[in-house]
Amino acid sequence: MDQLDSFRDNSWDLIDINSFIDEAPSDFFWNDQIQNQNQRAVAELEAPLSSATFQEECIETECPRKRGRNESCSKQGNKACRERLRREKLNERFSELCSVLEPGRPVKTDKMAILGDAIRVLNELKTESEEYKEINQKLMEEIKTLKKRTNFVKRNSH
């Protein structure tokens, strides 16, 4: 019964907070980064570890200053904030993977599609590399026989 009451109280808190604080739009970071990468190709791509520097301006309990909704981070504990950080880092990885997949624009936004493309490209590159390796083998053999023949001809010509 105690459990039940506390649970209901949490529900109250939840709704209370949301109804007063939560007026900002939701998915900003992901779209922003993607659009940035879309328009100006590189620039901040030199920092795939941007989360490290990013950690510095937002150490632990403090929150990124990216956009609204973050006011709820300072109050009400930092659990939600850390979770948000985790999500953002994950999205960074997604975006990075996407840019590796197709250096040409336009960058995909769909996580499912990104993963699918990653799998596809990975397999393609594997077979491509394998094919090249086989060709190399054959070319080397051909070179060997060619050298042999050259030497043979030389020897016979004297």
Partner DNA sequence: GGCCACACGTGATGC
Partner DNA sequence: TGCATCACGTGTGGC
Q: How many CB atoms within 10 Å of residue 64?
A: 16
Q: Which of residues 70-89 bind DNA (CB under 7 A)?
A: 70, 72-73, 76-77, 79-84, 86-88
Here the tokens at position 155 are 């020897």
H-run or E-run covering 119 = helix 111-157
Q: CB count, 10 Å around CB of 118?
A: 15
Choose from DNA, a second copy, none: what does 17 bind? Cβ within 5-8 Å by kind: DNA
Rounded CA Rg of the chain: 28
Cα 76 from Cα 21, distance rounded (Å): 12
Binder of residue 139, out of a second copy, DNA, none (CB less than 5 to 8 A by kind): a second copy
Q: Work out which of 8, 40, 67, 105 binds a second copy, going by CB under 8 A.
A: 8
Contact footprint for a second copy (CB under 8 A): 3-4, 7-8, 11, 15, 89-90, 93-94, 96-97, 100-101, 111-112, 115-116, 118-119, 121-123, 125-126, 128-129, 132-133, 135-136, 139-140, 142-143, 146-147, 149-150, 153-154, 156-157
